[in-house]
Amino acid sequence: MAYQSLPETSVKPLRLAVIGTGWIGAFHARTVAQHLPDALLHVIADPAPGRAAELAAELGCPNYTEVIADVLADDSVDAVVIGAPSSFHAGLIAQAAAAGKHIFCEKPAAHALSDLDAALDAVEASGVLLQIGFNRRFSRDFAVVAEQVHSGVIGTPQLLRSLTRDPEVAGGLPNAAKIRSHVIFTETLIHDFDTLNWLNPGAEAVEVHVMSDALVAPEHRGSGLLDTAVVSLRYSNGAIAVAEANFSASYGYDVRGEVFGSKGMVQAGNPVQLAAASFDSQGAHAPTERLNIELFAQAYREQLSVFARKIRGLREDTADAALAVPTGADARAALRIALAALESAESGLPVKLESATRLAVNP
């Protein structure tokens, strides 16, 4: 008998390297290994002894290293996924760009505009793709809201809201004494700032005013902790926005967004994310998610899938090259707001965005 055969493909596999094996780096590595059929997890890197080897063994990744330079010197690596601590992000972006690697980097891209600008200069000089990990843009409900806003269905945005409430942790807020004042703005609300920018297209934030405090762990207020914040923003088109965050929601992980416009309103997110519910003498009960990688699992995976597709599109000159992703410019716009928010939290006064350029933290 004679076999019938499909045409052989000569498509070069897309080889990805993951840098960092903390909870988000490990999640991204598992996504590449288990959920991206058009990409290969080629190498895992982490300077912490044994961490990269352990995760590589779990995922069947053929290579691992404790030396980041090994990844950047590997000509077979097409792109890097940066999940290292945020204080290293800007430097790694610049190094990866200089090495000619496409880059996916977790937020925030930097802690100071000068560092970010240097990294973006390196990206522009090399011509590589830089995608930032603003995962809400890939969440189905937020994407529907964005489509409604961008298509003009709700008219001109007038009031916007975005909130992040992290789930309560048993035993109290972990490492509260070590959480610096910038964290709530640069690590948590940075998502909300990008969301508000995204949902108010064509406008820029021009003024920020913050009210914040340590309400979850007030005993650590003196060490600089801020665990609760409300940020008011004024945009160049006149729209007024509010971003809020808290580090301890007793009922679970809660992320929502809303845009009120001249013709209507759209909302995304719901504290009750699962369909199951129960009803008894105490009332109605529904489960909620407790981790961001549970609530946004689809979005985390979709953003890397789009990253891989866009790289292929750029390589093969297909329509996927035009896929929309969060860029370095988006990272910069969100960071400007975060730095202004930090300045306002410290002064208690409104801050114009032009002045918010200083370093947010000593890494």
Predicted pLDDT of residue 330: 98
What is the C-alpha to C-alpha distance for residues 24 and 30, in angstroms, rounded to an integer?
A: 10
The pLDDT, as a whole number, for residue 8 is 52
In this prediction, residue 297 carries a pLDDT of: 85
Structure tokens at 182: 């910038």
Q: Looking at residue 171, what is its pLDDT?
A: 80
Phi, psi of 223 (to 5 degrees): -85, 0
H-run or E-run covering 345? helix 328-347
Top pLDDT among 296 and 10 is at: 296
Predicted TM-score (pTM) of this structure: 0.90
Sequence-ordered strand ranges (E) for the chain: 14-19, 39-45, 64-65, 79-82, 102-105, 130-132, 157-167, 205-213, 228-235, 240-249, 254-261, 264-268, 278-280, 283-285, 351-352
pLDDT digits (tens, 9 = 90+) for 12-24: 889 999 999 999 9
Nearest alpha-carbon partner for 116 in 98, 140, 81, 91? 91
Could you tell me what percent of the chain has a pLDDT over 90? 80
Average pLDDT, the chain: 91
- Spatial distance between the Cα atoms of 123 and 129, rounded to a whole number of angstroms: 7
pLDDT at 285 over 60: no
pLDDT at 117 over 60: yes
| Model pLDDT for residues 122-137, shown as the tens digit of each residue | 999 999 999 999 999 9
Residue 358 pLDDT more than 60?
A: no
C-alpha to C-alpha distance for 314 and 320, rounded to whole angstroms: 7
Q: What is the mean pLDDT of residues 339-355?
A: 92
Gap between the Cα atoms of 255 and 291, Å rounded: 11
DSSP string, 159-204: EEEEEEEEEP-TTSSTTGGG--TTHIIIIIHHHHHHHHHHTSTT--
The single-letter DSSP state of residue 118 is H
Percentage of the chain beyond pLDDT 70 is 88
For residue 104, pLDDT over 60 is answered with yes
What does the pLDDT look like over 33-63, one tens digit per residue? 999 998 999 999 999 999 999 999 999 999 9
Lowest mean pLDDT among 146-160, 217-231, 349-363: 349-363
pLDDT digits (tens, 9 = 90+) for 134-177: 999 999 999 999 999 999 999 999 999 999 999 888 888 988 98
First to last CA, the chain: 68
Return the half-sphere exposure (C-beta side, CA atoms, 13 A cut-off) of residue 16: 30
Phi, psi of 161 (to 5 degrees): -145, 140
Q: If residue 316 lies in a helix (H) or strand (E), which one and from where to where? A: helix 297-316
Tokens 């930090």 — which residue?
A: 342
User: What is residue 38's predicted lDDT score, i.e. its pLDDT?
Assistant: 85
φ, ψ for residue 297, nearest 5 deg: -55, -45
Confidence category of residue 252, pLDDT binned at 50, 70, 90: confident
Query: Does residue 270 surpass a pLDDT of 90?
Result: no
pLDDT for 146 equals: 96
Which pLDDT score is estimated for 355?
55
SS3 percent helix, strand, coil of the chain, rounded to 5, is 40, 25, 35
State pLDDT tens for residues 289-321: 555 556 678 999 999 999 999 999 999 999 999
pLDDT (average), residues 175-202 = 95
pLDDT of 280: 58
Asked if residue 131 lies in contact with residue 326, where contact means CB atoms within 8 angstroms, the answer is: yes
Give the per-residue pLDDT at 12: 80
Say yes or no to pLDDT of 261 above 50. Answer: yes
Shortest CA distance to 338 belongs to which of 89, 110, 86?
110
